[in-house]
Amino acid sequence: MPRAVFERSLRGSLCLGLLHGRELAGSRRAETDRATFASLADAFVLPEHRGRGLAKWMVGEMLVHPDVQGLRRWLLATRDAHGLYAGLGFASSAAPGAFMEILRPYAAAEPEGCEG
């Protein structure tokens, strides 16, 4: 993802960083209106810091952040961390057929004005 796109994504989000000394060891982002809805996105913990429960801790901290209390809905998508999120209260959608998407996996990587 180009840096400019990444920086733009941060401006409209609630972001948490995980520091090890002065180095960034992980990050978590929630796209939210801070009133009714949030979607967890772009989580990472660097390999040398994994296996210590830090990803789960970051999500827990995001859920109790003062800016997102009282939301009606939290969403997330995960390939392989269902157990981690279930331990924090997430469950499969009660209405999976209600959700739709437009998926453009490479849209953020394409320079403006280019079609691929």
pLDDT of residue 115: 45
In the CATH scheme, what is the homologous superfamily, with its name and number, of domain 3-109?
A: Gcn5-related N-acetyltransferase (GNAT) (3.40.630.30)
DSSP secondary structure, 16-76, as one string: EEEEETTEEEEEEEEEE-SSSEEEEEEEEE-GGGTTSSHHHHHHHHHHT-GGGTT-SEEE-
Q: How confident is the model at residue 108 (pLDDT cuts 50, 70, 90)?
A: low
**Percent of the chain residues topping a pLDDT of 90:** 66
pLDDT for 47 beyond 90: yes
- Entry pTM: 0.80
Dist. CA 40–CA 53, nearest whole Å: 17
Q: What does the pLDDT average to over 33-61?
A: 93
